[in-house]
Amino acid sequence: MARVVLGVGAGIAAYKVCELLRLLREAEHRVCVVPTPDALRFVGAPTWEALSGEPVSTDVWTQVQDVPHVRIGQSAELVIVAPATADLLARAATGMASDLLSAALLTARCPVVFAPAMHTEMWEHPATRSNVAVLRERGAIVLDPASGRLTGADTGVGRLPDPTEIFTAAEGVLAHPEPDLAERHVVVSAGGTREELDPVRYIGNWSTGMQGYALARAAAARGAQVTVVAANVTLPDPAGARVARVVSARELHAAMLEEAATADAIVMTAAVADYRPASRSESKIKKDGRTPEPIALAENPDILADLSARRAKPGQIVVGFAAETDPDPEVASAKLKRKGCDLLVVNPVGNGLGFGATDNEAVILGADQTRTTVPRGTKDSLAHVVWDLVAERLK
């Protein structure tokens, strides 16, 4: 159980933070909610008090004898600000202390997570970009906002990340309070590619992207700038990550090479089709009573091997995943050497593990002859073990 300060900014997304507060309380964290004065225009103090079980104040003049503007920050083990509006980010970056929340941010010596939410134009404004860069440089975790429907009819980047995603990121920060991936750019592929036969059919696999998204969340919680290249994933965007969407193996190949140009680490969790139909029918292939023609296949590019061979910068770490129904240590070691990557995560699939399951287990082989066994557990747990190994090598 941790002492968490939940700062609430004056944005319409404040109502979603009630769900985040519920998740924190269900995890048995003690939560002190500190809204800005204008945040109470969206969700009132009685709601925060009922959900948190603690009194709520917005100014430094309530219970002055306890010096709340100092005590709240000093006693916190984690501060989460959601929604972090453009105004709040600006005040935090410049060190203003005009209300209880901004004062608490100045006195906090624990990890601080900002979950921004604002209109696209505000998020992309140079002033906001500069403020975010300053906060990240000082060690704060500033999650990238999600894309989707905003206030009114607008759609774009600036939506508050899903409360479940923010909660998972917060748990990751509590487990790893030192941002050992700060100022690093990491690229994660996720999901499974689809190779079209005709407008309605494709060759694919069962990958859902859960492990890749767990890796993205974990990296963001550890301070990284995260890019996810998602192949046919329907999960909510992981908090703190920019998501690029692709369909086929060749699209994934092109996107990964482009993103790898600035990456410090690359993790290939996506399940990639080894082959694609040599030709695609422009119309639906129909039954005509005859024996169907065999489907001619063409080989897809080996994305992992290509990324390993074409490292864009010195010291870049490349991690591969190998899902196997019957993992063989010798076969895995040969694959590691053949792919040329630094780490190969060999995970069994089937029996409640792997695709679509919440649990995973693995043996992680290193090109330096290391071997790390990860017992069955959550995919988030495996993700943090992978980043532990990557962080060691980035040093």
Distance of CA 35 to the CA centre of its chain: 26
Helix extents (H) in the chain: 14-26, 45-52, 68-75, 86-94, 100-107, 120-124, 126-137, 163-175, 210-221, 249-260, 303-309, 329-339, 379-394
- The pLDDT of residue 259 is 96
Mean pLDDT for the stretch of residues 327-331: 84
Q: Are residues 18 and 149 in the same domain?
A: yes
Half-sphere exposure of 110 (CA within 13 A, CB side): 22
Interatomic CA distance for residues 384 and 216, integer angstroms: 10
Say whether pLDDT at 245 is over 80: yes
Task: Reply yes or no on whether the pLDDT at 196 is more than 70.
Answer: yes
The number of folded domains in the chain is 2
Q: Which pLDDT band, with edges at 50, 70 and 90, does 86 fall under?
A: very high
273/295 Cα distance (integer angstroms): 15
User: If you average pLDDT over residues 229-248, what whole number do you get?
Assistant: 93
180: in domain: no
Least confident of 71-75, 187-191, 216-220: 71-75
Residues 219 and 129 in one domain: no
Q: What does DSSP assign to residue 119?
A: -
Q: Mean pLDDT, to the nearest integer, of 270-296?
A: 88
Average pLDDT, the chain: 92
Given this model, what pLDDT does residue 13 score?
A: 96
CA distances in angstroms from 169 to 8, 23, 141, 176, listed in the order given: 17, 12, 10, 10
Same structural domain for residues 163 and 232?
no
For residue 252, tell me if it sits in a domain: yes
CATH number of domain containing 96? 3.40.50.1950
pLDDT band at 66 (very low <50, low <70, confident <90, very high): low
Q: Are both 24 and 151 inside the same structural domain?
A: yes
Cα separation of 281 and 61, whole Å? 72
By CB atoms closer than 10 A (0-12, 13-18, 19+), residue 313 is exposed
Are residues 345 and 243 part of one domain?
Answer: yes
Residue 303 is assigned to a structural domain of this protein: yes
Same-domain pairing of 107 and 232:
no
If asked whether residues 226 and 112 sit together in one domain, one would say no
What whole-number distance in Å separates Cα of residue 63 and Cα of residue 120?
A: 39
pLDDT of residue 328: 84
Same-domain pairing of 169 and 270: no
Active-site choice (131, 205, 232, 347): 205
For residues 128 and 155, membership in a common domain is answered with yes
pLDDT of residue 149: 87
pLDDT at residue 60, rounded to an integer = 67
E-strand ranges in 225-379 read 225-231, 241-246, 265-268, 275-277, 297-299, 317-324, 343-348, 359-366, 371-378
CATH number, domain with residue 278: 3.40.50.10300
Which one of 157, 175, 193 terminates a domain?
Answer: 175
Q: What is the mean pLDDT of residues 365-371?
A: 96
Q: Are residues 227 and 153 in the same domain?
A: no
**Does the annotation count 205 as an active-site position?**
yes
**Domain boundary pick from 153, 175, 197:** 175
pLDDT for position 158: 92
Q: How confident is the model at residue 89 (pLDDT cuts 50, 70, 90)?
A: very high
Dist CA 120 CA 149 (whole Å): 11
| Co-location of 155 and 250 in the same domain | no
Residue 162 lies in a domain: yes
Q: What is the pTM of this model?
A: 0.82
Task: Assess contact for 384 and 176: CB atoms under 8 A.
Answer: yes
Of the listed ranges 60-69, 81-90, 119-128, the least confidently predicted one is 60-69
- Average confidence (pLDDT) over 305-325: 94
* Confidence at 287, pLDDT banded by 50, 70, 90: confident
Q: pLDDT of 94-135, one tens digit each? A: 999 989 999 999 999 999 999 999 999 999 999 999 999 999
Task: Please tell me whether residues 382 and 276 are part of one structural domain.
Answer: yes
pLDDT in tens, 28-53: 999 999 999 999 999 999 999 999 99
pLDDT for position 64:
63
User: Regarding beta strands 343-348 and 359-366, do their DSSP bridges make them parallel or antiparallel, or are they unpaired?
Assistant: antiparallel
Cα–Cα–Cα angle for 142, 97, 17, rounded to 5 degrees: 45
Range of the domain at 324: 185-394
Distance between CA 25 and CA 4 in Å, rounded? Answer: 10
Give the domain-ending residue among 147, 175, 203.
175
Say if residue 67's pLDDT is above 60: no
Of residues 244 and 324, more confidence is placed in 244
